[in-house]
């Protein structure tokens, strides 16, 4: 059995302002985000982590570095774990997308699996790219524990794939900043969710 700790990065300015932060928005954590991640690090202090993977964007990598703490393990950077490429919608709020790209806003609202951002990725391609990450896990001893730090979209995608869920349920999964999801995986490709979107460690911290 392998244990996966799936972690979304801490708060960023774009999160606070409800802006679309995708693959090409390489922004830092806010002070709130750093405090959230420190709480997460404490939450995982007694857990064994054998390997650590992170999206190569700053907000995820900083989250991984803080979470790993003093453990003597290398954080392996994974571009495939980047958030979706929002193209011309990068940095916009939903209201701005409605104004500039009403057809895209309609697809977001209805959550069409054919959703495509102008100048960016289509949803299917994003999911295909994200799921290539699972090939990395195949190389590990199945008894190892793995930390995976990424973004809301990729984490939802990995959960759907690991649980053999239809991607139409993707949007029904809530993944908050600095949240923890724990999944046990088995050689038979079965997976069991132990914890989903846990933010109990953030009690008393705005999120």
- CA-based nearest residue to 100, from 81, 82, 119: 119
Asked if residue 8 is part of any domain, the answer here is: yes
Q: pLDDT band at 139, cuts 50/70/90?
A: confident
- Could you tell me the CATH number of the domain that includes residue 122? 3.40.50.1240
Domain presence at residue 204: no
Domain count for the chain = 1
**β-pair partners for 42:** none
Report pLDDT digits (tens) over 68-117.
999 999 999 999 999 999 999 999 999 999 999 999 999 999 988 889 99
State the residue range of the domain holding 106: 2-198
120 lies in some domain: yes
Nearest to 67 by CA among 202, 190, 178: 178
Predicted model pTM: 0.94
**Is a pLDDT exceeding 70 seen at residue 67?**
yes
Contacts of 191 (CB under 8 A, 6+ apart): 162, 163, 183, 184, 185
Q: Give kind and range of the element (H or E) at residue 68.
A: helix 58-68
Decide if pLDDT at 207 tops 70: no
User: Is 43 contained in some domain?
Assistant: yes
pLDDT of residue 189: 66
Domain-located, residue 131: yes
Q: What percent of the chain has pLDDT over 70?
A: 98
Of the candidates 163, 182, 169, 146, the one whose C-alpha atom is nearest the C-alpha of residue 48 is: 146
pLDDT tens digits along 187-201: 766 899 999 999 999
Q: List, by residue number, the catalytic residues.
A: 9, 83
159 is a domain residue: yes
């Amino acid at each position: 059995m392998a244990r996966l700790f799936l972690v979304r990065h801490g708060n960023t300015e774009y999160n606070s302002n409800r802006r679309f932060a995708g693959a090409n928005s390489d922004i830092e954590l806010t002070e709130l985000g750093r405090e959230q991640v420190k709480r997460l690090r404490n939450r995982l202090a007694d857990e064994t982590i054998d390997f650590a993977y992170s999206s190569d964007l700053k907000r995820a990598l900083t989250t991984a570095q803080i979470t790993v703490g003093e453990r003597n393990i290398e954080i392996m950077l994974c571009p495939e774990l980047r958030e979706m490429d929002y193209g011309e919608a990068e940095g916009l709020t939903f209201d701005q997308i409605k104004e500039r790209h009403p057809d895209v806003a309609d697809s977001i609202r209805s959550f069409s699996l054919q959703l495509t951002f102008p100048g960016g990725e289509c949803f299917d391609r994003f999911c295909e790219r994200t799921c290539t990450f699972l090939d990395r896990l195949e190389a590990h001893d199945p008894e190892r524990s793995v930390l995976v730090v990424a973004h809301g979209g990729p984490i939802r995608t990995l959960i759907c794939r690991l649980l053999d869920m239809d991607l139409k349920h993707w949007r029904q999964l809530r993944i908050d900043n600095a949240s923890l999801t724990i999944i046990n995986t088995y050689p038979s490709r079965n997976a069991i969710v132990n914890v989903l979107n846990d933010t109990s460690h953030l009690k008393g911290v705005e999120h």
